Chains A and B, each alone.
Chain A
Amino acid sequence: MRRRNRWVRTLFWGGVLGIFALLGVVFSGVAVGAFEQRILPVDQPIPFSHAFHAGGLGLSCRYCHPSAERAAYAGLPPTETCMTCHTFIKPDSPKLALVRRSWETGEAIRWNRVINLPDFVYFHHGAHVAKGVGCAECHGRVDQMPVVHQPQAFTMKFCLECHRNPEAYLRPREQVFNMAYKPDPELGRKLKKIHAVRSAEALTSCNTCHR
């Protein structure tokens, strides 16, 4: 009789506590972003290595993504851009077959996008570059990625971290494309004035990213 009573009570109270515990786990999980998806390396039709081109050769991001400084979209390089070098360098490497074919047939190369913001989010590369936000802040050390992946989930929270206190993430404009640069908050506070970065209220108001 005792055993049965104990068993029933354990079951009951265990259940009650279990429910609360579960809620706790789920919520804290959400809070720390346990359920958010980071994007693993995406394989591309052409085995292009950012690590080699950006890291090794030290090509600037702007060489292939020219409109990053001026437009909303950073832009993808036309086949032309690849061929400027690869007509001479490794002109007949099998890995580049697709590039050459595209160049001859005029049929576009279809890259797989690594980063897809939801359609209701608007991001302007030009504006961020102009305000001194480095590529690495969002894209990570692309110069060390043989195959590009997305270092962190682009959740609203992630964007807000920076929009709520930009100081900690600003860098001099000439350092924007420097992958290794580590922003320092002291300088950041000055840069916020120099680059005329708007107040946190303005930066966190909905229309900054949603239209």
Chain B
Amino acid sequence: MLYGFMAYFDAPEKLLEAIKALKGAGYRHIEALTPNPVEGIEEVLGGNGRIPWVAFALGVLGAGLGLFLQVYTTLDYPMNAGGKPLLGWPAFIPVTFELTILTITVGIFLYLLYVNGLPLADHPAVRAKDYVRVLLDEYGLFVYASDPRFDLEATRALLQALGAEVEEVRRA
């Protein structure tokens, strides 16, 4: 059974062109696979997943957590330590800061996995014989067979026209 086409481009620019073209041609189920981030991919494929805002929210949460922790624990069993005031706020800065960072770090990492739909056990593109190339130096574009516009000849032609080296990926 056929998963789709894996198209290999030798330059990011070509990849972008191809994506634009396919989009223009009304393809939906396509996926770009690259060895490293490619500038300008959001414009064509979109979605950086609101990372900064999530991070900010986490930060607020963490800071709140830190402050609450210290204020609550101090007031829960008030004790005179060295004659310092009970809520000596300057002493609370380090912990608040650290907890903020800690929350963001852990949170954002999990969030990254979440929005990227990781972890994955398997992926059609990975089944491609030359898949490893897109992890090194080439820029891959995977067109799913499930795409309504998908057509063995037409699609292959289109991709090759865009300067790609095309490979059929099917279940072994």
Q: Do chains A and B touch in the complex (CB under 8 A)?
A: yes
B136 sits at the interface (CB 8 A)? no
B75 close to A (CB within 8 Å): no
Apart from A12-B119, A201-B78, A204-B77, list 14 A-B contacts with CB within 8 A: A1-B121, A1-B123, A1-B124, A4-B121, A4-B122, A5-B120, A5-B121, A8-B119, A8-B120, A8-B121, A9-B119, A12-B113, A16-B110, A205-B79
Interface centre among A4, A5, A7, A12 (most CB of B within 10 A): A5
Query: Judging by beta carbons under 8 Å apart, are A7 and B110 in contact?
Result: no
Chain B residues engaging chain A, CB cutoff 8 angstroms: 77-79, 110, 113, 117, 119-124
Residue of B nearest to A4 (CB): B121
**Cα A1 to Cα B79 with chains together (Å):** 60
Q: Is the interface of B mostly helix, strand, loop or mixed?
A: loop
Spell out A's residues near B (CB within 8 Å): 1, 4-5, 7-9, 12, 16, 201, 204-205
Minimal Cβ-Cβ distance residue in A for B113: A12
Beta-carbon nearest neighbor of A6 in chain B:
B121
Question: Which listed residue, A1, A204, A205, touches B122 by the CB 8 Å rule?
Answer: A1
A5–B122 touching, CB < 8 Å: yes
C-alpha spacing A179/B79, complex, angstroms: 35
**19 A–B contacts from the bound complex (CB under 8 Å):** A1-B121, A1-B122, A1-B123, A1-B124, A4-B121, A4-B122, A5-B120, A5-B121, A5-B122, A8-B119, A8-B120, A8-B121, A9-B117, A12-B113, A12-B119, A16-B110, A201-B78, A204-B77, A205-B79
**Chain B hits for A1, CB < 8 A:** 121-124
Point out the residues of chain A lying under 8 angstroms from B77, CB to CB.
204
